[in-house]
Amino acid sequence: MAFNPNQSTLAGCMQELRDIQKEFGLDTGRILTSRDPVIRKLAYDQLNVSNVPDGFTKTRLPVFFSDPTTLYISAGAPGVKVPRHSHDEGDGIRFMISGSIHYKDMELTQGDWMFVPAKADYEFEVGPMGAVMCYCYSCCCA
């Protein structure tokens, strides 16, 4: 089922995402990544966007912020370990631009993402080629 955002209001889009979260049991109170099995299934079945030019694909993310946000670009050297921490002031999302990070038993690479809810403890290690990431937080704590 492809989605056309031009045929809905913002409130309608948000409600549809809430419905998808409920239907698929997405717990946005825990860290979610593009590599989680249910997210990978959703990307093809529920989150594809239809109103794009030939040669493009577009996929909605099944998460959203309710507060103002700040954006960052960050680069990590190979093998750097980011110690266990949390962002208590607000949710965040990390988009992998290049390289990789290892979170739990997953390797997130170019094009992957990671949603981090407020107060969720996490840690990761930068992969052997380093990593460049874009962060978006609903706080200024990054």
pLDDT at 1: 52
Q: Is 39 helix (H, G, I), strand (E, B) or coil?
A: helix
- Domain spans, the chain: 70-137
How far, in Å, CA of 30 to CA of 14, rounded?
19
| pTM for this model (two decimals) | 0.78
The residues, ordered by sequence, that sit 6+ positions from 89 with a Cβ below 8 Å of its Cβ are 118, 137, 138, 139, 140, 141
pLDDT at 105: 95
How far, in Å, CA of 121 to CA of 80, rounded?
18
pLDDT, averaged in runs of 10, over the chain (142 residues): 66 85 91 90 76 76 82 92 90 95 97 94 96 84 47
Q: What is the CATH T-level fold of the domain 70-137, as seen in this structure?
A: Jelly Rolls (2.60.120)
The residues, ordered by sequence, that sit 6+ positions from 94 with a Cβ below 8 Å of its Cβ are 108, 113, 114, 116, 133, 134, 135
